[in-house]
Amino acid sequence: MLMSQNLEIVREAFLATSGGDPAAGAAAWDPAIEWDMSGVTGWTEQRVYRGREVVLEFLRQWADSWRDWHFDVEEVRAAGDEQVFVAIHEWGTGVESAASVDQRRYFANDLSGGRVVRVRMFSDRADALEALGLTE
């Protein structure tokens, strides 16, 4: 799979999801996808989610906990043939807490055979870039 094809697969999956529907980008995922939250500062819940249905349920619960949750894809960059960096800016208001979120998150995506097999999420841009062997 060409680097540019993998870049577009990831870009399209994130863009599809950006309006608040986590399932919209799931077609790009491998059935055994791993979603790793270890790089998110202060994350106290489960660290790693495995399998398309488990990841989808986790992301649905996240999206459902916010009113008007959405994000903008700010950057998508290839990191070799089968890795892609993504930066997003997300917004929303907590359904129960009414707290507002306005933050940036960073993703290290690993692909195999044109499918996303692992997503590592980070609070810190430099950490995500480093995970992919990239620098500013």
pLDDT, tens digit, 9 for 90 and up, residues 1-30: 577 899 999 999 999 999 888 899 999 999
What's the pTM value of the predicted model, to 2 decimals?
0.93
- Evaluate if residue 35 carries a pLDDT over 70: yes
Tell me, what's the pLDDT at 66?
87
pLDDT, tens digit, 9 for 90 and up, residues 65-77: 988 888 999 999 9
Residue 56's CB is within 10 A of a number of other CB atoms, namely 18
Q: Are 95 and 66 in contact (CB under 8 A)?
A: yes
Q: Are 78 and 48 in contact (CB under 8 A)?
A: no
Top-level class of domain 3-20+30-131: alpha beta
Q: Which of 85, 84, 76, 32 is nearest to 54 (CA)?
A: 32
pLDDT, tens digit, 9 for 90 and up, residues 105-125: 999 999 999 999 999 999 999
Q: Which helix (H) or strand (E) holds 6?
A: helix 3-17
